[in-house]
Amino acid sequence: MSAVLAGNEEPAFFAPANDDAIDVLIEQYNDALSNMQRVAAFMSGPEMQRAAHFFLDAQRDQFQRQVPEAEKLFKMEIAQKALDAHYWHRALNLTDVLDYMPNAKRHAWNDQIHRRDCPAFEEDTVRDNLRHMLAQRLDFLAEMVEGIFTGLSGEHVTNRPEGFSKRMIISYVYTEYGSTTDRSGLIHDLRAVLAKFMGNDLPRHHGSAAMLYKIRDTTGVWFTLDGGALRIRVYKKGTAHLEVHPDLAWRLNEILAHRHPRAIPPAYRRRPETRQRTTTLINRPIPYPVLRLLESGTYWHYERPPRQANEFSFDWNASRDRKLLAEAKAILEVLGGVPIADSDAYLFDYPANEVIDEVILSGLLPDQRSHQFYPTPPEIAEAVIDAAQIGPNHRCLEPSAGQGGLASFMPQAQTHCVEISPLNCQVLRARGFEATEADFMSWRDGVFDRICMNPPFDRRRARVHLERAASMLAPGGRLVCVLPASYKDKPLLPDMDTSWSRTYRDAFPGVSIDVAILTVQAPG
C-alpha cells in the first residue's frame, strides 16, 4: 500500500485508541451491568412482577398501545444486548476508525448496533477489535476507493468501466421523501480519500450527511466542497453528480489499480499534464475542525427595532477549544459579522445564512493578500462619498468592491458592484446590491456618472485600475479613488482635472501603508 501512496508521508495521522479512555469505558460498563443485574434479580419474583404490572399498565394511553410485560421487561439477557450495543457505539467513537471505515463496513457496524447484535462487551474483545480495526485503516482506504467505484451508477455512460474519470454519478443518494440513503456514505468515502491525498483532516462521517441535507433542495446547481477537491450537484430524483479535481482523479485509479492491477489502463492512472494557471487568486482552505465548529452553530433572523437582525451563535459544548473558536470567529468577522459583547455570538447587517453555508460547504475563504481584500475603513469611505457628490440621478459603480465597503455608503438603487471573488459577490447580493462576478480589468458595461473605488495596490495594479475606471466615466463624471500616498507625486490622468485629499497614516488595520484620496473630474 505504501507504493500506492507515494508522495505522502506515512507518519501517524490517525487518532490512536486511548487506553485510559477504554479503561474508563470498561469500568462504566461493568458498573452499569452490575446495577442492571441487581434490578433484574430484585424484579425476578412473581410478587414484584405483579406490582410492576400496574406501573406498566399506567403507561397505556387512550389508544391502548401495547406496553411490555414485566417478566420480559426485566429479562437480563435482552437488556444486556442493549447495554452492549450502547457501549460498542461509545467505544468506536473513541477513535476515528468510523471515519476511515468504508461505507459497507460502517453500515454493517451501525446495523449491528441498531439491531443490538454486537459482540459481548468484554475487555479483551473490545481491545482486540479496536486494535484490529485501527491496524486495518490503510487497507480501509483502498476498500473505500473500490467501494466508491463499484457503487457508481451503471446506468450512466459518464461512469467508465475502465476506471474513475473526472466526473462520476451515484444514483439513489436520496429517497423520494428527501432523506439520505445508505449510498450517501459513498460520498463521504470519496471526501475522506481526497482529504487523505491532500494531507487534510478527514471529514466526520455524520458531517457528510449534514452537507447533503444542506444542498438537497438546491437541485441542478454545482457546489464546491473541501477546498476545491470536489464539486457536487444533486437532482430531485435522488442522483448526485460529482466532479473530482483532475489532479486528484488519477490517484483514485492508482489505488484501484493496486487492488486490480490488470483492470485499469495506464492512461487512467497517469498524472495529467500541468496546465498554466490563468489567475494568481488563492482561496485559503479552512481546517475541518473549524468547519465543524461553524456547522454546529445556530443562525437565526429576527426583528430588532429599528432594523432586522441576523445572528450567529456558537454551540457552547462545541466551542470549548478556544484556539478553534478564535479561528472560527475570525472567519465570521471576514464575512462582516460584528461580535456581541460578553458572548460568543455575532450580528450581521445582511442575511448571512447562505454565505456561512457556502463557506462550510466549500471549505474555502478568499486569501486576503492575493485578493487584495482590505475593506475600506468607514472614515475613509465617508470622505470618498463626500468627494463624489452623488446626485439622485447618477449611475454609480464600485469596482473591485469586496463586500461593499464603499457601496454601503452609496445609494443602493443606483449602484452597481463588480467583484472577482464569488464569495464576496454573494455577500454583496445578500446585502441587496446589484453585483457582477468578474475581473474588473476585463469587464465593461456602459459608462457611469460616479465611480468610487479602493483598487488593489500590489504590483502597481492601482494605476491600471484607475486608468480603466477613468475610461468608463460619462462626460462630466467624477471618479474618487483611494490610492497609496506615494502616488501624490506622480502625474496621473493628465487630461482630467485632479485633486488630492490629506494623507491618512496607517489607514488599513494590519497593513503599514499611508493613503490619500484622489478626486478626478472628467471633461463635460
Please give the chain's pLDDT, 524 residues, in tens.
333 333 344 333 344 444 457 788 888 999 999 999 988 888 888 888 888 888 877 776 655 566 677 777 788 888 999 999 999 988 887 777 777 777 788 888 888 999 999 999 998 888 888 888 777 766 777 777 888 887 876 665 455 544 566 678 889 999 988 899 988 888 888 888 888 777 677 777 677 888 888 888 888 888 888 877 888 999 989 999 988 887 777 777 777 776 666 555 555 555 555 444 333 444 677 888 888 889 888 888 877 665 567 899 988 777 678 888 999 998 998 888 989 888 888 999 888 888 998 888 888 877 555 445 678 888 999 999 999 999 999 999 999 998 999 999 999 999 999 998 888 899 999 999 999 999 898 888 889 999 999 998 876 788 999 999 999 999 999 999 999 898 987 888 888 999 999 999 888 776 778 899 999 999 88
Distance CA 406, CA 377 (A): 9
Q: Provide the pLDDT for residue 270.
A: 57
Distance CA 393, CA 280 (A): 38
Query: For the chain, how many helices (H) and strands (E)?
Result: 18, 17
Q: How far apart are the first and last CA of the chain?
A: 73
Hey, what's the cell of 369? 493578500
Homologous superfamily, domain 378-521: Vaccinia Virus protein VP39 (3.40.50.150)
Q: By CB neighbour count within 10 A (0-12 exposed, 13-18 middle, 19+ buried), where does 199 fall?
A: exposed
Are 435 and 408 contacting, i.e. CB atoms less than 8 angstroms apart?
no
Distance CA 440, CA 462 (A): 12
β-strands 307-313, 434-437 pairing: unpaired
Domain boundaries, the chain: 19-134, 141-265, 283-365, 378-521
